[in-house]
Amino acid sequence: MRVLLSLAVAAAAAAADRTVSSDVAIHSVAFADGGRTLLGHGAGGSVRGWDAATGAPKLKHDSQPSPAASALLPESGQLAGVARDGSIEVVAIAGGKVVRRVPAVEPAARRLVYSPDGQAVATVHQPGPVARENTVRVRDAGGRERFTAPAGIGGISVLGFSPDGRFLVGGSNDADVRVWNARNGELVRLIDQLLVTMFALAFSPDGKWLAMAGVDRTVYLWDTATWKLTRKLTGQPEMISAVAFSPDGRRLAAGGFSELTSRQPVKVLLWDVGAGKVIGTMDAPRRVSGLTFSPDGTILAAACGEKTVTLYAVQD
């Protein structure tokens, strides 16, 4: 029986509504087909799909050979992965057919993200030891290069495009955050006042807000029109590794991990963005590596690196 969260009571505890099972560990989640399908993305380019209403398995995909890095493109039902030769292969999850290939570049990509419309891909390249500066390279869907830019010392901790594909944001382990014009590589903003590394980012669906969070258990909200920090959401009990906006942009979910061990149970907090207040608290079995809302905003799915995906029911 579905247990609904009452968002009228701040910080109210809620049990998981239900879980769906997987034969592989799931690290990120997304809804597809207008919310009818829940997709889970695991290491090595594995993807599992379930009927979002019943939890019944719908699809299974395993990359062969497993890519060094991969990214789910839920709206198109595709998976992009860095192949062993350094090229990027985009495959249809249903059937496994390669639908597009982006040529390899040097040095090999260590991470990749696609713009929401699938027309741009950003890759992270590390030329040497961890202490060396990384670079970000952005190309269009066919492989034509847009730009290459320096991206900080010590590795990229988080990377993502804005909903309209206009901006690319990257956080590095040196605690700096860079905002680039995703068309030409112009450095729009260098955010260097943070003291710790950011592990998670999310844009609001309308692109007006950027949320980032990490080591210091704080969610930072920037106005993307001015790139000024406008709000800090504090009170998360653990370091934060995943954030997600609701489809209407009024709520934000955040989950993380304990400094003791990634297997320690943690809390997922649900925030009212406008009021800056916690409006719900949910239990997660271990480190939260991915969060996403269903298109109607009534379900929050959490990936915790296990062979299950936890689903919470939420309502206004």
- CB under 8 Å to 73, separation ≥6 — which residues? 79, 80, 90, 114, 118
Q: What is the pLDDT of residue 316?
A: 62
**CATH for 210:** 2.130.10.10
Q: Is 34 helix (H, G, I), strand (E, B) or coil?
A: helix
pTM of the predicted protein model: 0.91
Give residue-wise pLDDT tens across range 233-271: 999 999 999 999 999 999 999 999 998 888 899 999 999
The answer to whether residues 97 and 170 belong to one domain is yes
**pLDDT for the residue numbered 129:** 61
Distance of CA 206 to the CA centre of its chain: 17
Domain co-membership, 170 together with 199: no
Starting at the edge strand found earlier in the chain, the sheet holding 187-191 runs: 156-161, 167-172, 177-181, 187-191
pLDDT tens-digit readout, 56-70 = 999 999 988 888 899
d(Cα 147, Cα 279) in Å, to the nearest integer?
42
Residue finishing a domain among 170, 186, 202: 186
**Number of domains making up the chain:** 2
What distance in Å separates the CA atoms of residue 189 and residue 102, rounded to the nearest whole number? 29
Burial class (CB in 10 A: 0-12, 13-18, 19+), 84: exposed
Last residue of a domain, one of 186, 219, 238: 186
pLDDT band at 131, cuts 50/70/90? low
Tell me the three-class secondary structure of 78-147, residue by residue. Answer: EEEEECCCCCEEEEECCCCCEEEEECCCCCCEEEEEECCCCCEEEEEECCCCCCCEEEEEEEECCCCEEE
User: Each residue of 21-42: pLDDT tens digit?
Assistant: 999 999 999 999 999 999 999 9
| Residues 38, 110 within the same domain | no
Q: 198 and 179, same structural domain?
A: no
Say if residue 208 is in the same domain as residue 305: yes
Domain range holding 114? 69-186
The pLDDT, as a whole number, for residue 88 is 94
Q: What is the mean pLDDT of residues 66-95?
A: 92
Torsions phi, psi for 74 (to 5 deg): -65, -35
Do residue 40 and residue 103 come from a single domain? no
Task: Return the C-alpha torsion angle 269, 305, 261, 272, nearest 10.
Answer: -10
Do the domain assignments include residue 120?
Answer: yes
Looking at the fold, whether 38 and 141 belong to one and the same domain comes out as no
Domain annotation covers residue 239: yes
- Give the whole-angstrom CA distance, residue 134 versus residue 178: 12
